[in-house]
Chain A
Amino acid sequence: MSKQVTALASGLVLGVGLSISGMTNTERVLGFLDLFGQWDPTLAFVMGSGVIVAFLGFKLVLKTPGPLFDDVFSLPTKTDIDKPLLLGAILFGLGWGLVGYCPGPALAGLSTGYIAPLMFVPAMIIGLLLSKRVSAIF
């Protein structure tokens, strides 16, 4: 039960953060991705502050014996740079550049009621569900 409540709380903080940061504004995101146009550096502040805060927080948290509501910290174990990682990152960047939505802002965009996120999110979920099969080819 507590695990569900904490997940909801973390999601809420993330949603508020995405909205305040400007990440849900596709025009601003595309402005950041447009290096050769009227470059908008806003997103660098989002990623920079996010990484610094998480870096400092993880340093402290990972020194503790374990999480409050689970037995262990579930950290990714893979370390190799494989084909699915690289090909996946390329496809993701391509899709991100087309519309200006990455997964979080697309979900957050559902709260705006605009048509684009309502279409984007189901397509993204289909892509996610297909991805294991596509990865298996490589």
Chain B
Amino acid sequence: MHHFIYATIGGSLLGISAIMMMALNGRIAGISGILSGSITQKGSERWWRVLFTAGIIIGAALPPLLSADFVVPEPDATLPLVLIGGLLVGLGTGMGSGCTTGHGICGIARLSKRSLVATCTFMAAAFLTVYLLRHTVGA
């Protein structure tokens, strides 16, 4: 199957997951916020977040078992780049109260102006970063 079709099926599942969290638990399915809360929260407020996070990891392990189409290549990045990238993504999504799921999908779906501005900003910053890496310094 063409990867645009997979992308549409996968994207729809992201939307369905967001609807499930809202309809069942009344929460926004924002990964950065839930991951952060899985460490800082206490008791049952902590455990649903831990289980949500575990679900992502387990869920992502399943499609590659069923089809080689879903086996991904190893990321092509040096260790320092990976560490700096991780730190920036954590810092940025923590400060900006959201990532691609919280702002990009849930926020825009709620027509939130904050989320729309955040999404346009992080997309622009990411486009610029890749441009600089691939077409200036790295080229």
Contacts and interface: CB of A to CB of B under 8 A. Distances in A.
B19 A126 contact: no
Contacts of A74: 26-28
Interface size for chain A: under 10, 10 to 19, 20 to 34, or 35 or more residues? 35 or more
A58 to B, nearest CB: 5
Contact of A67 (B24, B52, B109): B24
Contacts of B124: 93
Interface in B13-54: 13-29, 31-32, 35-36, 39-40, 44, 47-49, 51-54
A104 to B, nearest CB: 4
Which DSSP category, helix, strand, loop or mixed, fits chain A's interface?
Answer: helix
| Interface core residue of B21, B85, B129 (most chain A CB under 10 Å) | B85
Given A10-B55, A11-B55, A128-B94, A57 B18 contact: yes
A57 B90 CA distance: 29
23 contacts: A7-B48, A11-B56, A14-B13, A14-B29, A21-B9, A33-B126, A42-B4, A50-B11, A50-B15, A67-B24, A76-B114, A79-B114, A87-B92, A91-B96, A93-B125, A98-B77, A99-B86, A103-B32, A104-B56, A119-B79, A124-B87, A127-B94, A128-B94
